[in-house]
Chain A
Amino acid sequence: MDFSFSHEQEQFRDSLARFLRDKSPTSAVRKLMATDRGYDPAVWRQLCDDLGVAGLHLPEDVGGSGYGPVELGIALEEQGRALLCAPYLASAVMAGYAVLLGGTEAQRAELLPGIAGGTTIATLAVTESEGLWRAGDVRLAATASGDGFRLNGRKRFVVDGQNADLLVVAGRTGKGVSLFAVDAAAEGVSRRAVPPMDPTRKLAEIVFDDAPSRLLGAEGEAPLEAILDAVLVAFAHEMIGGAQALLDSAVAYAKLRVQFGRPIGSFQAIKHRCADLLVQVELAKAAVYQAAQLLADGEDATVAASQAKAVAAEAYMHAARECIQFHGGIGFTWENDTHLWFKRAKSSEVFLGAPREHRERMLQAMGV
């Protein structure tokens, strides 16, 4: 198992970080978060065309770059740091992994090139009422009809659901839970944007009323756990990127802000808390990076993935709280940027399962 990034990986990180500093300053984030779409199609095109990030983790024969979870993680860490507004998590990561791990070879060849190129915006709709994808939560009914299936039910917390062209949906037949591909424009699909607490990540509720769909992979064999592991590891990278941005901001402000005749960062009451935050963020990074490495090595990564989600979510929230606290009153204003990350941290904490749920999932995967 590798315990460090290669020179090539570091170079990729640097070039993406430069791009994001340029294209995703908080002024741009604020502008985009006030729109319905929530992202800038021109920046998305550049991200996909010039940097090729949407297909980073997808095989070359379906239009991807053939890299793996470690490189995907780098891309998400930098996006999380810059709070990039883009359908990346929904389309490239969630739908991309769902088709890659759940589709047949022919379906991968058909659906993944659009996702890898960023020309198709896709998303994955599993959740109905719980964050963690327990099979029992999937009640949406799928009924065979002709050479496809008709879907009836409702999906909630669908990231970028209103932007998507392609919906990958978990539904239930007599054989269990399967994945289905749905054209978002099809009759019987009604999408409603719901107001997200984190305005940088758009959410939709989607009702399926006899909507036509195609089965992905084998009926009753949706690999939800494997998809969840891969998505969690990627998502945890986004969280540690955000946590690092908040730590940097907290420390920078503590060095700048003068009270009682000295920078507040010279008080141990502040600097010790910054040190503690650094420890928590660094340990979370170590957990997240090793989870990616385990996935890349083809090892069973369930324990590491849930561990990564739990520690990254807690580090992110802790960083958000501390960053606001060190800023004092200004930290609670709309004008100050900290709340942008705070809201992302809060919604990330509960999306795909809260830390408490992942600690339990971790133990069960260990056989304890």
Chain B
Amino acid sequence: MDANLEEIRAEIRAWLAENWRPERSLVEWRNLLVDAGWAAPDWPADYYGRDLPPSAVAVVNEELAAAGAIGAAKAGVRNLAAATLLEHGTDAQKRRYLRGVLTGEEAWCQLFSEPGSGSDLAGATTRAVRQGNQWVINGQKVWNTSAHHADFGLLLARTDWDQPKHKGLTYFVIDMRQPGVEVRQLRQMNGHASFNEVFMTDAVVHPEDMVGKEGGGWQVAMTTLAHERSGFARSRESVEDGGRPGRIYDEYREEVAVANEPYVWYPQRAGRVDLVIERAKQTGAIDDSVIRQDIARLLALHQSAQWYARRTAEARKAGRTTGAEGSVSKLAASHVARLASDVHTAITGIEAMLTGPESPLDGVIAEILVSVPAVSIAGGTDEIQRNIVSERLLDMPKEPRFDTGPFRDVKRN
């Protein structure tokens, strides 16, 4: 196994020496990478990959970094599209879409949540109706990250209203660049616009863009969501080029900047525990015995949550987890962020009335205070996490359901 990895290292190193040229355009370079199978070494050999294990991907990434070379496009929803199509897509879908994912030429968004179905995702009411040789889509989606840049959307729509809710859904790839699709930015309470609303009015999907079976959309969506959860921490891409000059680096930096734009306020959303002691020293709050209690409480909670995550990661490696531990961590993150927000408020005092450049830390404190409420909602509300923890880790009974009959008869928004 190790000897094999060293062979792979030698092979990619030689290939890079031969082919890596920073003068090339980003797309030209990535097409070479895709053709050679180095863009996604763990993908099937039939679809631009090399059937190699994840350990080989790490080796390839190390060699790319060592050469200063840029890898395949990774950021955002394109990864979820690839994972979903690899598992459920047809041969034609894989050939049509996977290369554009890797080269970064085509961007993706997810069209799952709706104004009427957030936590209850399977309650989607966007309609897909078969008319002649096409699907006609009508409805509204929301919380669609980067939809304003997207070429394609991963769409969950209702195709059968007489089935129970989970069985009447179908999964499609929809072309976002068509007249029936309108994307509007959604402004959040913290002033940022990281998400969109997407309105579909007689938008069209071709039958070959149905993913999985008609009525089988929920299973396909579960694949997308599983990859979203496991990649939650990796949603932001960092620029590893060390600020190198050159056309290809410029193009890459722009790609990363666009992909990261929705996430610039995420550190503030998590509460910025890292700033607490420094701020308390600056303002003198560090001498207040009541605030000291809150600071210590916050640091203890934050440290405990980090240690819990480390222990869970170890247990996962040993195969001793249920998969619901992430919900414990997510609930802990909500506690940490809320407490941090309270502590920042206590430290900041009356200055917390201000925002912008005249406010503490050039507006960062104000941004923390108005961003933290997102933590306990995004990626599954605290209430949903508590259901998961109580049902899966504590084996407690579910609430009685009222949505098991034909979806047509189910009470909804």
Residues of A within 8 A of B (CB): 3-4, 251, 254-255, 262-263, 265-268, 271-272, 274-276, 278-279, 282-287, 289-290, 307, 310-311, 356, 359-360, 362-363, 366, 368
CB distance from B165 to the nearest CB of A (A): 20
Interface of chain B, helix or strand or loop or mixed?
A: helix
Given contacts A282-B308, A359-B300, contact A251 B394 (CB under 8 A): yes
Tell me the residues in window 242-293 of chain B with beta carbons closer than 8 Å to chain A beta carbons: 277, 280, 286, 289, 292-293
Set B292, B303, B390, B400: member contacting A272, Cβ < 8 A: B390
CB distance from B40 to the nearest CB of A (A): 31
| Residues in B neighbouring A310, C-beta threshold 8 A | 296-297, 300
Set B286, B295, B304, B397: member contacting A283, Cβ < 8 A: B304
Given contacts A274-B396, A360-B293, 17 further A-B pairs with CB under 8 A are A3-B307, A251-B395, A263-B397, A266-B396, A266-B399, A266-B400, A268-B386, A271-B387, A271-B397, A275-B387, A279-B335, A282-B328, A283-B308, A287-B304, A307-B300, A359-B293, A363-B295
B222 beta carbon closer than 8 Å to chain A: no
B299 beta carbon closer than 8 Å to chain A: yes
| Residues in B neighbouring A282, C-beta threshold 8 A | 308, 328
Cα distance A267–B292 in the bound complex, in angstroms: 38
Does A267 contact B286, Cβ atoms closer than 8 Å?
A: no
| Residues in B neighbouring A251, C-beta threshold 8 A | 394-396
Cα distance A283–B311 in the bound complex, in angstroms: 10
Q: Which of B43-51, B312-320, B359-367 contacts A (4 or more CB under 8 A)?
A: B312-320
Cα distance A279–B327 in the bound complex, in angstroms: 9
* A and B contact pairs by CB, cutoff 8 A, 5 listed: A279-B335, A282-B328, A287-B303, A359-B292, A368-B295
CB distance from B6 to the nearest CB of A (A): 29
Cα distance A367–B292 in the bound complex, in angstroms: 12
Set A4, A266, A274, A279: member contacting B314, Cβ < 8 A: A4
Interface of chain A, helix or strand or loop or mixed?
A: helix
B375 beta carbon closer than 8 Å to chain A: no
Does B386 contact A266, Cβ atoms closer than 8 Å?
A: no
CB distance from A275 to the nearest CB of B (A): 4
Interface readout for B391-403 with A: 1 if CB under 8 Å, 0 if not? 1011111111000
Does B328 contact A278, Cβ atoms closer than 8 Å?
A: yes
Does A275 contact B389, Cβ atoms closer than 8 Å?
A: yes
Does A278 contact B389, Cβ atoms closer than 8 Å?
A: yes
Cα distance A268–B391 in the bound complex, in angstroms: 11
| Residues in B neighbouring A363, C-beta threshold 8 A | 292, 295-296
Does B314 contact A3, Cβ atoms closer than 8 Å?
A: yes
| Residues in B neighbouring A254, C-beta threshold 8 A | 396
Does B393 contact A278, Cβ atoms closer than 8 Å?
A: yes
B174 beta carbon closer than 8 Å to chain A: no
Cα distance A275–B308 in the bound complex, in angstroms: 16
Set B286, B313, B397: member contacting A255, Cβ < 8 A: B397
CB distance from B289 to the nearest CB of A (A): 8
* CB-based nearest A residue for B325: A282
Given contacts A266-B399, A266-B400, A287-B303, contact A279 B331 (CB under 8 A): yes
Given contacts A359-B292, A359-B300, contact A368 B277 (CB under 8 A): yes
